[in-house]
A and B are shown apart, each in its own frame.
Chain A
């Protein structure tokens, strides 16, 4: 029996609760928080507040802290990683935000349990998972020695398993090493803020290991990941923009793999540019253009959300909507390398196909490619493997796939870009040309004639005629030849025709265990 008055007891409990809560919410202390604010960088709690709909975040593990080292008990609020559930665009989402002000958000025993719980709930209950990355890596004192290793690492065999049950979206928002980087590259989407670094370990450690100065930006900055590795799907200037990008990305995806993507209202002005779309395609086949302008014209107004714009640029990938429904738009961009696909482009298109197929997003392919980049460098970059990965991905796709041949489609690239039965429907513009090899080179190979040689022009003219769309339609290799201005309407109709009615819009996800990068 309690001999104190109930209100007194309540006050006492409240006082302790409030004091503990205040300590936890203080994170790494006013000085560190002030430094971040002065640098124009949000702290972990501000990031969560911006990501989640107001008042919806329920924290998990507010009173957790380090247990490995008694001295850390009261100096590690949240153990440096803030976790919980909040609504993003009105939809329940599991969130992990690294708090760099607490021991550099380093990975340790307690926060490892917090992350595992988030991932488990997200997977079992069908919630998207968001990682806000900024971590110095493993908390060294805790992990050192055989006992540290044995106690802390490897005890959760699913820790880095990806079976794409629910979409993962990540932002790299500061120095990001170790698990923070692992989760970024395991995610479907990673947005990087300029100034952040994504790497295996710190430049300091790298300098010690290889005994030379390593520049952090060169080792893991945005330019490297946007242009060379492809690990940055988008690059932004601020934390705020990064959080908006995550929200925008998730809005295209279902909450989990057993659900069809959400349907949005069709914005006013959609399809407005269709009447003049042919003007975006140069008349001369030697001139190039930016296929993204054409894609933006076809899809719902303002809905094209490009991924990896600076990586493998001969390939274009982006989420978009057609008549309010999410589609994965991929294509060749003649503006880069004439649309000839290199290893990076193949890899980019492959991982995008896997993303879309895993989350029930139909594919729309815009085709204009003279083929693959060939030559010594291409072989050194493992072109055959990349080409076949992409081909296999397309073959394993079970969501609807529609292709539109705008201009060139040659050789094996014809198959990789959905030619023949590699799409559910093939449409060709009257400007399409299809053959095994570009006619200029084919005349040399077949007739042994170089440009300028007698008979070259006649042979070239005959080859060009034989590549025309009408022969292609005659053998029913294209199910439809469409007027360019009808492209949007045709795609919307065909997406209706091919909707996955038998499974309520759900594909078979045959690539759910494929790597998230190759």
Chain B
């Protein structure tokens, strides 16, 4: 089982968590939406997998490159 670490591409804040922990995600599905640069920027699962862990909560500030979710392939 491969562990996929999902990192934030941008600095911003977590606006909305869309996917539930434990959910099975297809490649391309949105995990959460960040607010950054006055825009709603999605964090997307590039590879399909099970959402094993969310490392941030709504409202939390995230930095570019920060680990925000872990998927199990």
- Cβ-based interface call for B40 (8 A): yes
Q: Tell me how far the C-beta of B69 lies from the nearest C-beta in chain A, rounded to whole angstroms.
A: 16
- Cβ-based interface call for B56 (8 A): no
B40 and A286 contacting across the interface, CB-CB below 8 Å:
yes
Q: A313-B9, A337-B10, A377-B64 are in contact. Are A286 and B38 (CB under 8 A)?
A: yes
- Cβ-based interface call for B26 (8 A): no
Give Cα A340 to B39, complex, Å: 11
Q: Which 4 A-B pairs have the closest CB atoms?
A: A338-B39, A286-B39, A338-B37, A440-B38
A339, closest chain B residue (CB): B39
Give Cα A440 to B39, complex, Å: 11
Enumerate A293-318 residues with CB–CB distance to B below 8 Å: 310, 313
- Cβ-based interface call for B44 (8 A): yes
- Cβ-based interface call for A328 (8 A): no
- Cβ-based interface call for A323 (8 A): no
Q: A336-B9, A337-B10, A377-B64 are in contact. Are A310 and B46 (CB under 8 A)?
A: yes
A438, closest chain B residue (CB): B38
Which chain B residues lie closer than 8 Å to A287 at the CB level?
Answer: 39-40
B39, closest chain A residue (CB): A338
Give Cα A370 to B42, complex, Å: 16
In addition to A287-B39, A313-B9, A338-B39, 18 A-B residue pairs with Cβ atoms within 8 Å of each other are: A286-B39, A287-B40, A288-B40, A288-B42, A310-B46, A334-B39, A335-B42, A336-B9, A337-B10, A337-B36, A337-B41, A338-B10, A338-B36, A340-B37, A370-B37, A377-B64, A438-B38, A440-B38
Which chain B residues lie closer than 8 Å to A340 at the CB level?
Answer: 37
Which chain A residues lie closer than 8 Å to B41 at the CB level?
Answer: 288, 335-338
B37, closest chain A residue (CB): A338
Give Cα A338 to B34, complex, Å: 11
Q: Tell me how far the C-beta of A93 lies from the nearest C-beta in chain B, rounded to whole angstroms.
A: 32
The size class of the interface chain B forms with chain A is 10 to 19
A226, closest chain B residue (CB): B46
Enumerate A261-301 residues with CB–CB distance to B below 8 Å: 286-288
- 23 A-B pairs within 8 Å (CB atoms) are namely A286-B38, A286-B39, A286-B40, A288-B39, A288-B41, A288-B42, A310-B46, A313-B9, A334-B39, A335-B41, A336-B9, A337-B9, A337-B10, A337-B36, A337-B37, A338-B10, A338-B36, A338-B37, A338-B41, A340-B37, A370-B37, A377-B64, A438-B37
Give Cα A149 to B36, complex, Å: 55
Which chain B residues lie closer than 8 Å to A310 at the CB level?
Answer: 46
Give Cα A233 to B37, complex, Å: 29
A335 and B38 contacting across the interface, CB-CB below 8 Å:
no
Which chain B residues lie closer than 8 Å to A336 at the CB level?
Answer: 9, 41
Which chain A residues lie closer than 8 Å to B36 at the CB level?
Answer: 337-338
Give Cα A404 to B46, complex, Å: 27
Q: Tell me how far the C-beta of A13 lies from the nearest C-beta in chain B, rounded to whole angstroms.
A: 56
Q: Which of A335, A377, A438 is in CB contact (< 8 Å) with B44?
A: A335
Which chain B residues lie closer than 8 Å to A335 at the CB level?
Answer: 41-42, 44
Which chain A residues lie closer than 8 Å to B10 at the CB level?
Answer: 337-338
Give Cα A337 to B41, complex, Å: 7
Q: Tell me how far the C-beta of B73 lies from the nearest C-beta in chain A, rounded to whole angstroms.
A: 11
Give Cα A377 to B64, complex, Å: 10
Q: Tell me how far the C-beta of A370 lies from the nearest C-beta in chain B, rounded to whole angstroms.
A: 7
Give Cα A313 to B8, complex, Å: 13
A351-381 to B contact mask, C-beta < 8 Å, 1/0? 0000000000000000000100000010000
B26-49 to A contact mask, C-beta < 8 Å, 1/0? 000000000011111110101000
Q: Which interface residue of A286, A338, A340 has the most chain B CB atoms within 10 A? A: A338
Give Cα A289 to B26, complex, Å: 18
Which chain A residues lie closer than 8 Å to B9 at the CB level?
Answer: 313, 336-337
Which chain B residues lie closer than 8 Å to A313 at the CB level?
Answer: 9
Q: Which interface residue of B36, B39, B42, B44 has the most chain A CB atoms within 10 A? A: B39
Give Cα A321 to B16, complex, Å: 38
A55-74 to B contact mask, C-beta < 8 Å, 1/0? 00000000000000000000
